[in-house]
Amino acid sequence: MGTANGQQPAAEGASSDKLRHVESMSELPSGAGKISGINAVVLGESLAAEENDLIFPSSDFSANALVSSPKQYREMYERSIKNPAGFWSEIAETFYWKEKWNPAEVCSENLDVTKGPVQINWFKGGKTNICYNAVDRNIESGNGDKIAMYWEGNEPSQDGKLTYSELLEKVCQLANYLKSLGVGKGDAVIIYLPMLLELPIAMLACARIGAVHSVVFAGFSADSLAQRIVDCKPKLVITCNAVKRGVKPIFLKDIVDVALVESEKNGVSVGLCLTYENQSAMKREDTKWQPERDVWWQDVVTKFPTKCDVEWVDAEDPLFLLYTSGSTGKPKGVLHTSGGYMVYTATTFKYAFDYKPTDIYWCTADCGWITGHSYVTYGPLLNGATVLVFEGTPNYPDSGRCWDIVDKYNVTIFYTAPTLVRSLMRDGTEYVTRYSRKSLRVLGSVGEPINPSAWRWFYNIVGDSRCPISDTWWQTETGGFMITPLPGAWPQKPGSATFPFFGVQPVIVDEKGQEIEGECSGYLCIKKSWPGAFRTLYGDHERYETTYFKPFAGYYFTGDGCSRDKDGYHWLTGRVDDVINVSGHRIGTAEVESALVSHPQCAEAAVVGVEHEVKGQGIYAFVTLVDGVPYSEELRKSLIMTVRNQIGAFAAPDKIHWAPGLPKTRSGKIMRRILRKIAARQLDELGDISTLAEPAVVDQLIALSDC
């Protein structure tokens, strides 16, 4: 990726006003219309329909927003960059600290591997506890009777709720039980649970006593779970006997049993498996049991006291481990610490969703991923929010389930993934429009770049063209949002993550690590640290430095490609390792996928690179069509022409592979590794497909290889 329009990289030390475009948009229009060739759309007044739409917040929305203008954002952002210690200390002081940090040492860092080991510290020496701040502090402020969490089960008839006071009692009971086992500060606990309330309860209980939780998504295979057990050597594993995903039962305890046997073969023996009886999925008498190792949650935890002392920990003490897949080798144990993560997740949640105390917030993510840590559990509760926890699937019993839930609980903030948006698009608008959704106020997108056509559908249909979309870019490693709209502050462009959050300094660099100014494309890096940054990879600091800090010395390398347009808006183009080099042209797979999905008959697309004897690499596209649309040669040509028209002839797919469905994990992530093997005809190297939501999709794709 190089500079656009032949621009040269900025000279070292050169300064530029990167936020001038924000200031110029401080005068919001009173209605829709053209502004310098741009189609201006105002919330609640018209639909987003064109490629170059600019969606402005309405004057009413901005007037009530936490950040209500480009001018206010600019002032706060510039302070956060010029005086990060003062900016973040002021926010940190709104939380409870048993002991304050040294004001002269709010932050210390070295991101330059040429100057010594990489290290990041925020509020070091300060003593706090994230569980106390997320739960006790809300009760002490008079919100003990406020609903902390609603729970919606797999079946629409299953639901529950906990006030902040009730949540604290359950957290304390589990914390006391863990203490009775000898679990204490610094000990690891593996949590392998579905989206029951017991999952965030278990996270908070660990945090309360200073234990380090490692949540493993309850869709991972026994081998994957065993890898994580061997790496962090937990004192115990917490799971449940089974869960239902739609009509399909998943026997989690059986998976744990296999993983524990495998772990023992690799020298790590876990002596206790605490198992929650999930009666709606499986009775305890049907559960395989090892009496010397297995214990029922309901038999022991409920007998412990409902009050538990807090373990005060240093801001830089470990809070949790979360394993993320590397492109090669074993999973990486991303380590987050307590103080900075607490301050950052709370602040990003508050501003990116324009949070109000009356909001009902629903994030569809599983706590097995970073989104479930930061924006199901910690970020919302630190703000005293009411959170919805959903166990089921968004298309069960039908594709209207999400909007049924929105109406049932009067959800005001809805945060989900582009994969889900595209899936619901495919099923048709009638599943959306049969529900009111009038409670919705802010929408959010997470996990991958959202293509403009899906953005517009989300905005027009789900939000009735009156809800801004917080299209957030961030990573497991960053802990919280890095580039994101602030809903009332500036206009949005469909598909763009817009501008950096407070304290975040994104830069785009070329292959040599030179910063590029203005309109350009390149590698996205961050200079200077932020409070939510991860501190290391567990047990492998060398890999931490090699992966994230050696590619461009002095910067955190995100691994993502990014474009910045003439107005300064950021457009994420996908992982750099998901970039295809076609005849010297570097093409982001997300860019091609977005072009394909803009075709009215394409519901979803996934693009991978394949070897090409002339071009080096060719573009291979798996395409899922809208229901009822037949495969045809004419449509194939039309899809290719769409890409040619939107990106250029060099980006035209060499192959369109019809796909009734795509191989996805149960969280909705497309498994491109499998698609690459199918495209390359390496069918004996597909690996483990048992973790897929629908393993049969793989056979369907293989059968359609030559169609």
Work out the angle between the directed axes of helices 222-232 and 252-265 (0-180°, nearest 10).
Answer: 50
* C-beta of residue 692 within 8 angstroms of C-beta of residue 219: no
Residues involved in catalysis: 577
Between β-strands 127-128 and 119-122, what pairing exists: parallel, antiparallel or unpaired? unpaired
Closest of 280, 297, 341, 295 to residue 170, by C-alpha: 297
Residue reference for tokens 């860092």: 109
Letter string b/e over residues 354-387, b meaning 16 or more CB atoms within 10 A of that residue's CB: bbbeebbbbbbbbbbbbbbbbbbbbbbbbbbbbb
The residues facing 314 across adjacent strands are: 127
> Locate tokens 């210390």: which residue?
108
User: How many C-beta atoms lie closer than 10 Å to residue 167's C-beta?
Assistant: 24
Residue spans of alpha helices (H) in 374-450: 379-382, 401-409, 418-427, 430-433
CA distance 263 to 156: 38
The residues, any chain, with a CB within 8 Å of residue 703's CB and separated by 6 or more, are: none
Dihedral of CA atoms 155, 417, 588, 672 in degrees, nearest 10, equals -20
**Cβ proximity of 483 and 499 under 8 Å:** yes
Residue 523 phi, psi dihedral angles, 5° rounding: -95, 135
Cβ-Cβ contacts under 8 Å for 593 (sequence gap 6 or more): 451, 605, 606, 607, 621
Tell me which residue of 679, 473, 672, 689 sits closest to 578, measured CA to CA. Answer: 672
Query: What is the pairing mode between strands 273-276 and 236-240?
Result: parallel
Task: Report how many helices (DSSP H) and strands (DSSP E) the chain contains, helices first.
Answer: 23, 33
Strands 127-128 and 506-509: unpaired
Half-sphere exposure of 66 (CA within 13 A, CB side): 15
- Long-range Cβ contacts of 620-623 (<8 Å, 24+ apart): 620/653, 620/654, 620/655, 620/657, 620/675, 620/679, 621/592, 621/593, 621/596, 621/653, 621/655, 621/656, 621/657, 622/657, 622/659, 622/662, 622/675, 622/701, 623/596, 623/656, 623/657, 623/658, 623/659
Phi/psi-derived region of residue 621, left when phi > 0, alpha when psi is between -120 and 50, beta in every other case:
beta
